[in-house]
Amino acid sequence: MVESGSELLRRRCVEFSVPKEVEIALTTHAGYIAEWRSRIYPNDMTPTKRAKALARIADMTDELRKEVERLPLLDRMALDDVYFAQFKPGIIEAIDAGAEPTQFDLGGFALPRLQHAADLVRRRIVNVGKAGAPPMTERQADFIRCIAQCVKPANIVPTNNGIFRDLCEAVFLAGGMTLPDRAIRYFMQKVRPRLKAEGYCL
C-alpha cells in the first residue's frame, strides 16, 4: 500500500522525535497548503493585483482609523481596553515592563502602523505592471518559511538537506504538493538571509 502524505508526515515526526505541539503545527500547515492548492492558487494574484490589494488595505485602514478617531473619548478608551485585553501581557503588565502607553492606542498607534506596513510591503513587490503568472517559487518558499517557524521550537535548523528537508517534503506531500528543489534553494539563498538581515533568525 502506498503511504499517504499525512502518514509520511506522522512517520517523519516520530522518526525525528518531533514534539507533539510541533507535529500539530506542521499538520495544520499542511492543511493550509492543501487549501491554497485547491482554492486559492487557481485565483492567485499577479504582482499588480497584489500591489492593488495592499493599496486597498492601506486605504481601508486609514478610513478605519478616521472612524475610530470620530468616537467620543470614553468609547475610544473602552475600545482600546477591550481590544488590547485580548493580548498577553495585558496593558498594565506591558507598561510596567517598560512599554510606552501610547502603543495601546488603536487610532493613534496600531492602525497607522498597519497602514504604513501595508504601504511598505506594496513598495517591495517587484514586476508590478508586468504581465505573467504569480511566481510559484516565491509562494512555495513562503510555505517553507512557515515550516521553519513551526520547527524552531524543536531546535531544527533550516538546511538544504537532512531533517529539515525531509519534514518539508512530508508537509508538502500531506498538502498535496511535491517540494521542488528550486523552492528550498530560493528559501535558503534569498528568504532566510533577508529575514536574518531584518533581525529575525530562523
Predicted TM-score (pTM) of the model is 0.58
Residues 188 and 77: their CA atoms lie apart, in Å, by 45
State yes or no: pLDDT of 134 exceeds 60: no
pLDDT confidence tier of residue 133, bands split at 50, 70 and 90:
very low
DSSP summary character for residue 169? H
Each domain of the chain, given as residue ranges in start order, spans 5-44+134-197, 47-124
Cβ-proximal residues to 125 (8 Å cutoff; 6+ apart), any chain: 47, 50, 51, 54
Nearest CA to 61 among 102, 101, 121, 128? Answer: 121
Q: For position 132, what pLDDT does the model report?
A: 53
State yes or no: pLDDT of 121 exceeds 70: yes
> Three-state DSSP class for 74?
helix
pLDDT in tens, 75-103: 998 998 888 888 776 666 766 676 676 77
Q: Locate cell 517598560: which residue?
A: 98
pLDDT in tens, 135-169: 678 889 999 999 999 999 999 999 998 999 999 99
